Every structure is written in C-alpha cells, then in structure tokens.
Copies of this chain bind each other. A is one copy, B any other.
Amino acid sequence: MPTDCYYVDVPVRWSDMDAYGHVNNVMFVRLLEDARVYALRDWFGHDRDLIDDGLLVARQEIDYLAPMTFNYRPARITMWCSRVSGASFDIAYAVGQADSDVTYALAEVTLVAYDLQAEQPRRLTGPERSALAAVAGEPARLRSRSRGTR
C-alpha cells in the first residue's frame, strides 16, 4: 500500500462481531462501504457529491488476512484509486486498526458511474478523473493476482 495514504477511521460496532467473536466477514464489506462514503465526499468535494449522482458497485474482491476482534478502537481503512477506465474506477483498500500494524484485510471494489435518470452508465467527467488521479496508487496485492493460472 502507498505510504502517506488517505485513510478513514471507521468505528467498529459491538454488533459487527458474529457468534465466533470476530468481526464478521460480511461486516468487513460493510466497513468498506462506510469508509468509501467518507472517502468519496473528501475526494470529490463536499458540494458536489458523486455518490448522490449515482455510483453502482459492480465488483468486490476481498482477502481476509487476520481475524479482527472488537476492542473499542476504530478500523483504519486506507484507500486509493487503483484503476480508472471510461465509466468506472477501482478503489483499493487496506483494513487496519488505529494503533496497530496488523493488516486485517485487503480489498478492491469496482464502482461504475451511473446516470440514474437515464438508467445507464455514464463517462467519468474531467474533474472526476482529476480527483481520482490525485489519489492514484497500485493495484491491491490480492491473492488472485499472484496466482499464475486459475
């Protein structure tokens, strides 16, 4: 993950734990969503919020690296843009915890800019591309990437 990265601290709820006492695998994906809501507002500006214009999740991939327990500390979710195409982009995530060196999960989510009125994907605008360029980084080092063949 890039150093000096953008991150958001997302509080973990007691209820995010499942019957195993670990933050549930599904709730990791919820934490990614919550972090993204804040990141997009920061990246695209508070006045003109891309997410209000429509943004669909087209794909998610997540590697779980270590179990996380509830300990009153927020998850620290580092995010960067790892790919941009005509109408979509990828956000890469590393999920840690404040005051910890452990990386609990790595993930990548593909978002598609969507025209809610026209009900179809739309091209990213110039300002949107610039905003994403400012937080650009490498692809997440997901396990699937290091496999020779699958």
Residues of A within 8 A of B (CB): 10-11, 13-15, 17-19, 21, 24-26, 29-30, 33-34, 37-38, 41, 56-64, 67, 70, 72, 139, 143-145, 150
Contact = CB atoms under 8 A, between A and B. Distances in A.
Shortest beta-carbon contacts, A-B, top 9: A25-B57, A17-B19, A61-B61, A14-B37, A26-B29, A26-B30, A13-B34, A19-B21, A11-B11
Nearest to A58: B64
A62 B64 contact: no
Copies in the complex: 4
B150 A139 contact: yes
A103 to B, nearest CB: 14
B15 A61 contact: no
A26 B109 CA distance: 12
B61 A33 contact: no
A33 B15 contact: yes
B38 A33 contact: no
Contacts of A26: 15, 26, 29-30, 33
Contacts of A67: 56
B57 A64 contact: yes
A25 B56 CA distance: 9
8 contacts: A10-B11, A14-B33, A14-B37, A26-B26, A29-B60, A57-B64, A59-B63, A59-B144
A72 to B, nearest CB: 7
